[in-house]
Structure formats: structure tokens, C-alpha cells
Structure 1
Amino acid sequence: MAKYDYLVVGAGLFGSIFAYEANKRGKKVLVIDKRDHVAGNIYTKEVEGINVHMYGAHIFHTSNKEVWNYIQQFAEFNRYTNSPIAYYKGQVYNLPFNMNTFSKLWPDVRTPKEAKAKIAAAIEEAGIKQPKNLEEQAISLGGKEIYEIFVKGYTQKQWGRPCSELPAFIIKRLPFRFTYDNNYFNDAYQGIPMGGYTQIIDKMLEDIEVRLNTDFLAHREELENIADKIVYTGMIDEFYNYQFGELEYRSLRFETEVLDEENYQGNAVVNYEEYEIPYTRIIEHKHFEFGTQPKTVITREYPATWHKGDEPYYAMNDDKNNSLYAKYKALSDQDGKVIFGGRLGMYKYFDMDDTIAVALDCVKKELQ
């Protein structure tokens, strides 16, 4: 007889929500994770009194009131507003593209009407009616200058391919805002949990058995039989031994250092647009919580080609990979024992609020 009702593979946001809700309903749950900590990619660790986002910047934002209310029970959020800066060839610009960006780029532009006219003229000059790739798509939306400064280098670093070889659909639109407002997200609710993200997962899992440094695939035979059902948040293709082939991912590499100064860049996130600078951004963690510590911690974020065994961060959701995922999804739909969840299990980019929404949806289907 199975010892547990559910084995949850992965102590990230999706797995922890499912485990918490199942435990609340009297189910016996075991959570395992191959890392030496809980919280997955939202893991934060205190360094020099600063909560460091160990796997890149995580800024919570949502317009889903149910999701916002749900996450509030585990932490108090501050009023952090994401207003990144873009660095390009010695100049700094505000993001998202707004009137502060346009007036810096074109000193003679002051009003929304002038900015719109400038962009419209640049689009007309480019004359691209049927964009065949990302480069042409971006130029058709904002003109060549905006593409060269803000899209080209950053995007090529991010995807590891020239923009002329990337599909047009990756950029459906460019977020132009004709107001002097640097707020990146339009969502009704945003902020950072005071004290970091790890506490949220610790609270979810406090009454649940957790085993860290435990790789499901390395102990598959033993672990598959100890629970009636498995919630799996790892890579779906790896779970099925790549039987239809490998899905593609992008990876990231982080370089974190402590600096003996109070304030390094004056902003939590600075994007580096030039292709020649190998990292895409520098994160200064203290600014997420308005820190005044004597030292600071910064992280350089480098996009990386994914190879088997590397940490997968982003699904490559082009047509080829999506049709391959559809085969694995069809296989998983016939599997009555395993539920796949999260970015890797569902092969999809999710923000944190999306992850919470799909986890709660899974809870409703499975546990109610």
C-alpha cells in the first residue's frame, strides 16, 4: 500500500502550493527537491542583511485579485514598483518606452504628439509591410533607431541567435507609453515580499515532510511506488526519457558579488542593451526592499545556451518545440498517476502570478 497520497517533485511555487492545499485537505504529502533548498527559482538568501534573489530578479505583479489575496496570507508585500533603466553606449534611458525615453533619445521631442509623429515617420521610412522575422517585426513597430538601441543586442543575447533568425511572433508589439511614467507593469498589484520569497515557501511547507538533495529520476523506481499520485514540476521530456526527442530551453548564469559600497547603480534593475556586453542586466538586490545597508550585493545575469544537465529557465516556444511538447502532453493526458505543473512540466513561460493561478486551478480539478 502507498505510504503517501501525493509525491510532489519540486519545492518551487507550483509544487508548494499544491502540497499546502492537499495537506490542508488531510492528504498525506511528501515533497522532494534535487536542490539543497526549497523555493525553486524564487529562492532568496540573506547576504549582508540583504535578501538576494539567487536565480534572477523576481518582481511580483498581477491584476488577478484572487492570486494577490492568496499570496498575501504568506507574506507582507512592500510597494516596490518596477522601473528598470536601459544602458546603451554610455547613455541611460528609462524603460518601458515612455516620454522620458523619447525625450532623452530625441531632445527636440517634448509632447506625445511629437513622439508619435517621430515613430510613425521612422516606421514609414523602414517600409516593412510583411515582417518575416523578429528584426523586421521590431523595425515595423518602432523604426530602425529604437530597434538598434533597445531590441537588437539584448534580444540576440537573450535567445542566442541573430534577430533575423528569430520568429516575428516573439515581439507582438512594442510597449510604447506616451506618458512620463516609468512604471514597467500596468498591473493593479505589485511589490516584493518584505523579508524575501523563501519565507513564503517555508510557511506553505511547514507541516509537510520535505526531502532535499533528492533527485526523483535517480531514485525513480523507489519513489514512484510510495505515493498514489505524483505532481511533477520537472521537465516533461526528461520524465518520459526524451522518447520523442529533446525540447529546447534557454539557460542563465549568475555572477553575484558583495561590494564594499552603499549604492552601486541607484536602481534594482539595469538592462545592458549592447551585444558586446555579455550580460543582459545587473540586479542590485537591496533596492527591492529600499535597503540602507553599508554594503551592497549585485548580480550579473548572463543568458546561456542550454545543454542537457544545465538548469532550464525558459521554454523555447517556437512551432517546432510546441508541436514536440504536444506529443508529450498527449502522453501525459493518458497517464492517470502523474500531474505535470509549472514552467517545465507545462513547457510554458509563467510569471509568478500565472504559476499561482495554474496551481490553484490544478488544486480545484484534483482536490475538489
Structure 2
Amino acid sequence: MTEEKLLEVKNLKKYFDLGKGRLLKAVNDVTFHVNKGETFGLVGESGCGKSTIGRTIIGLYNKTEGDVLFNGNNVHALHEKDLMKLRQKMQMIFQDPYASLNPRSTVREVITEPMEVHKLYKSKKEQNERVYELLEEVGLNRDHANRYPHEFSGGQRQRIGIARALALNPDFIIADEPISALDVSVQAQVVNLLKELQEEKGLTFLFIAHDLSMVKQISDRIGVMYLGNMVELTVSNSLYSNPLHPYTQALLSAIPIPDPDIEESRERIILQGELPSPINPPSGCVFRTRCPFAMDICSKEKPDWQEVENNHFVACHLYNENVKKQHKPEPIVHIR
């Protein structure tokens, strides 16, 4: 992994027009970058906007505001021909391996479709050899090429989805909750496969998930999303050992620990209230309606995105110099 930026997301906004003057603010002013060769984890509960970010980055959604730069190129400003070339370098693994594969196509047809669109191979023989190589790389074999998706288990289908994502030899892969639809016993196998492929091919990942315990196993840095906003970002170990934002602390406290003595004695943080609607988000800090540390300023001003510690960013009034003199937060949960 290097410090060279492969992807930059700058002040990204994605709003959906629901009509009658209503806007669903799925992503609201999010900024982060992904370095070449690293895995950047994006986490948060359902509806926080993490999958929308992934789909906007790759161009499945048009942005409302902001910029997405890939290798210095503005993704949403490219002409169609240049966008086609970029899509060879940027691929996606989808959440549901049952819905993302055409049930009427064989595995061979699923994997070769992007090859044919981009005219990568001159002959069917070359194309088929590449299909066999990809199947073996993801833990399947050439005998699977002529079978249909319904003949495979969920884990095997996701391996086919990974093979399809690798078909164009990409540099960057967006993995949109690639393990959430799988059995727990299979999840670790898929994560280990992604790590092996990253090491072999020098891949860069944006790994989107809601399971913080699994994200830790694969991510170098992690960004935490809440209601369309990024609330904390740091390296993986720092996030787990010293979570700063109250929302991150609550998420980490919900991760079960396989030690009954520790599990029974540790403090759990139960957030009060319901998740607000992104159509009508709270004023000021979007987390204030569920935050145990909420203050008057939280309803009036949106907290600044600031670097509190080295490479540890957070958006919370508790860490503003003028505020923390009166109310100093104490870390609630530490998970190693």
C-alpha cells in the first residue's frame, strides 16, 4: 500500500427528488480518499448512505454536487468513450449474489459479457481460457463454466460475482456489502479470498458493510457513516481501540465478544429514539436526537470535520476547543 491517492471523493452530495419539493438527502457533503493498494472500509447502519456513495462513485447514480476523482480524472465529467475506459479499471461486487447474476446465463456468459463489451480478446479460445483462469482464482473450476447460477450456493455465487468483477483486470473494486447475504461460516472465506486477490493483484478496495467486526479484518482505514454524513474516519486499529464519536462508540459496543466474562461485564450503549428520516434530517448535528452527550450547540450548528488526533478525523462538537472545556467526552468502549 502506498500514500498515492487512487480515488478522491470531495464534498459529495447525492439527493433524490421525491416530488412536491421533497428531497431525500442520501449523501450529504462527504469527503474522503482511498490510497492505492489499501482497503477503505465504509460502515454504518442501513439507510446511512454508504451504498449510495459506492454507486455514485462508479457512475450508476449521477451526483448532485461534489467531485469524484479517479487517478485524477473527474468521473462525472468524462465523455462516454473515456468513461468506458475508466470502467475497465473500476468494478463492483454487489450485495446479493442471487439478484446480481442473470439466471438465464451460464457462468461462462456472465463472466465473458464485460469482456465482449470492452472487446478484450480476439478469439473465443482466449476468452474461454481467461474464464477458466478466473474461476480457479476464486476457488471454483472450469467444470462450473457451463452451469447456471441457480445450481450454486450463495457463497459460490458470490465467487462468480467476484470473477466477473476481475474479468476486466481492474485496479479498483467497490465491494458493496459482499458478505451480508451469506452464511456466517462463508463470510470469512469470502473476506480471505478478497485479501488474497488484493495481495496477488495489487487491488484497491472500497469495502462497504454494516458489520464492524468483519470490516476490521479487511480494512486499513475505516469511515463511519450516519444519516448521509461521515462522522469519523481513521485507521482500523485506532477506531477500535479509541472510538471518538458517540455513534461509533455505540456501534462498537454492540459487537459480541467471544468471552462470557468480558461480554457480561462490559457496558453496552443503547441508543434511544428512532433513526431520523433523511427527507427531514435534524438541524445542526444529525446524530443529536440519539446522542447521550447532546448539547444546545448541537441543534444549532453542524460540527466541523476536524483532525483530533494524528490521522483521526471526527465531526462532533465534543471535540471543538471552545466546547470541550465545558464538556469533555470520555471513551466509553474499547475493543481490541
Calculate the TM-score normalised by the size of structure 1.
0.22
Indicate the structure (1 or 2) with the bigger Cα radius of gyration.
Answer: 1
Calculate the TM-score normalised by the size of structure 2.
0.23
Larger RCO: 1 or 2 (CA < 8 Å, sep 6+): 1
